Amino acid sequence: MKYDTNQLEINKVQKSKIEEVNFDNLVFGEIFTDHMFECDYDNGQWQTPKIRPYGSIEMDPSAKVFHYGQAVFEGMKAYKDEDDQIWLFRPEENFKRINKSSARLAIPEFPKEFFFSGLEELLKLDKAWIKKGFGNSLYIRPFVIATEEGVSANPSTKYKFMIICSPAQAYYSGEVRVQFSEKYSRAANGGVGAAKAAGNYAAQFYPTNLAKEAGFQQIIWTDANTHEFLEEAGTMNIFFRIGDKLITAPTSDRILDGVTRKSVIDLAKDLNIEVEIRKVKVSEIVEAARNGELKEIFGSGTATVINPISGFGYKDEKFELPELEDSYGKSFKDQLMKIQYNQAEDRHGWRYLIK
């Protein structure tokens, strides 16, 4: 079916609330821009997409999303360069992934025409919310929820696709120490680990609270069968540097195919850094930390970009990692951000201009 992008209905705010916002002191994901995008699925098709003032939505308490968690989301960012141009980073990847996640949760695909026309119009309307300067961005959260009324455990016949946007600075502030999971699991073979399913995140909250009580900010999840292999951190994919070699786990139906992750792998290859994409044994990382060969661990993700890990815990032991002068993580972060903010050549064609 062909969807007509001219269909987009736009209802603008009477008065922007931007003046009430302190852009120097933003907590991640707490403030939202003036407008949002909304499109309903009903009668077997996506209806007229709309942009309207940001605000509450009304739903029946029996809506399936509340009972069965039929919901998926994406994370993207928009950046403003010194000439006030707005850029996205590899948005096609997020578009493909939200539909892949949707397919896994029996949610109908969202049309590409609607996604891009809606997102671009939204960004143009809320352009003033994207501040210039390295580290400032607009975090974009597309998501789909099942809105059909009724608690029978079947896929919904009604959905709402939305995009909301939040001005952002850093995701994690301060040092991040991680715990290698010994007991709890995030994903299993044949499950939904590779999807950005809302429930994947809810399921991490309890074990992460336990890890926080033990002095860590995040968990690195290990495989559900043996807990012998390191997989991902839930909000980030994870890279290990042993000597000068970079190692990261392969994507699978348990591990999210992160856009930042694959960009880091490409940048590493450009720099002739050896990258091994293979299963990562907990024991080899512990061993490398003991004998001083483990140089760094860092996480990659849209919200955080690259996040250095300053230490990790496994069983009853804690390991600290040195701060490196020649950190790969820092260098990838710098290169990625320069591409994102239109300050460096975009060899891979990752930037996407909002016209």
CA 352 to mean position of chain CA atoms: 18
**Single residue of 69, 111, 193, 301 touching ligand COI by CB under 6 A:** 301
Nearer to ligand COI, 117 or 302 (CB): 302
Contact 109, 102 (CB under 8 A): yes
Distance CA 148, CA 106 (A): 14
When asked if residue 91 is in the footprint of ligand COI (CB under 6 A), the reply is no
Kindly tell me which of 200 and 295 has the beta carbon lying closer to ligand COI.
200
Residue 235 or 327 having the CB closest to ligand COI: 235
Name which of 116 and 201 has its Cβ closer to ligand COI: 201
Q: How far is the CB of 229 from ligand COI (least distance, A)?
A: 22
Q: 280-281 and 45-46 as β-strands: parallel, antiparallel, unpaired?
A: unpaired
In the chain, count H helices and then E strands. Answer: 7, 20
Select 98 or 289, whichever has its Cβ closest to ligand COI: 98
Print the SS3 string covering 18-68: HHHCCCCCCCCCCCCCCEEEEEEEECCEECCCEEEECCCCCCCCCCHHHHH
246 forms part of the interface with ligand COI (CB under 6 A): no
Closest CA to 125 of 46, 18, 29: 18
CB of 162 to ligand COI, least distance (A): 15
Task: Compose the 9-48 pattern: x for residues touching ligand COI by CB under 6 A, - for all others.
Answer: ----------------------------------------
| Distance separating the N- and C-terminal Cα atoms of the chain | 26
Helix axis angle, 259-270 relative to 328-340, nearest 10°?
Answer: 110
Minimal distance in Å, beta carbon 166 to ligand COI?
10
Task: Output the smallest distance, CB 73 to ligand COI, in A.
Answer: 7
CA gap 75, 77 in Å, rounded: 7
Taking contact as CB under 6 A, which single stretch among the options 30-38, 219-227, 290-298, 300-308 is the one that binds ligand COI?
A: 300-308
CA distances from 33 to 18, 49, 290, 324 (A): 8, 18, 48, 38
Asked if 302 interacts with ligand COI (CB under 6 A), we say yes
Residue nearest to ligand COI (CB): 75
299 touches ligand COI (CB under 6 A): no
CB of 156 or CB of 218, closer to ligand COI: 218
Q: Is 75 in the site for ligand COI (CB under 6 A)?
A: yes
Q: Residue 144 Cβ, how far from ligand COI at the closest point, in Å?
A: 15
Element spanning 80, H or E: strand 76-80
Torsion of CA 80, 102, 35, 18, to 10 degrees: -50
Query: Any bridge partners for residue 311, and if so which?
Result: 177, 320
Nearer to ligand COI, 66 or 172 (CB): 172
Report the residue from 98, 303, 321, 336 that binds ligand COI according to the rule CB under 6 A: 303
Q: How far is the CB of 323 from ligand COI (least distance, A)?
A: 24
Q: In the range 200-219, which residues lie near ligand COI by CB under 6 A? A: 201
Q: Which stretch binds ligand COI (CB under 6 A): 104-112, 124-132, 240-248, 296-304?
A: 296-304
8, 50 contact by CB (below 8 A): yes
List the interface residues with ligand COI, window 131-170 (CB under 6 A): none
Give the 3-state DSSP-derived string for 275-292, with helices as H, strands as E and coil as C: EEECCEEHHHHHHHHHCC
Q: Which is nearer to ligand COI, 93 or 148 (CB)?
A: 93
Per CB under 6 A, the list member of 33, 185, 235, 307 interacting with ligand COI is 235
Minimum Å distance from CB 209 to ligand COI? Answer: 16
Cβ-based neighbours of 205, under 8 Å, separated by 6 or more:
none
Contacting positions for ligand COI (CB under 6 A): 75, 201, 235, 301-303
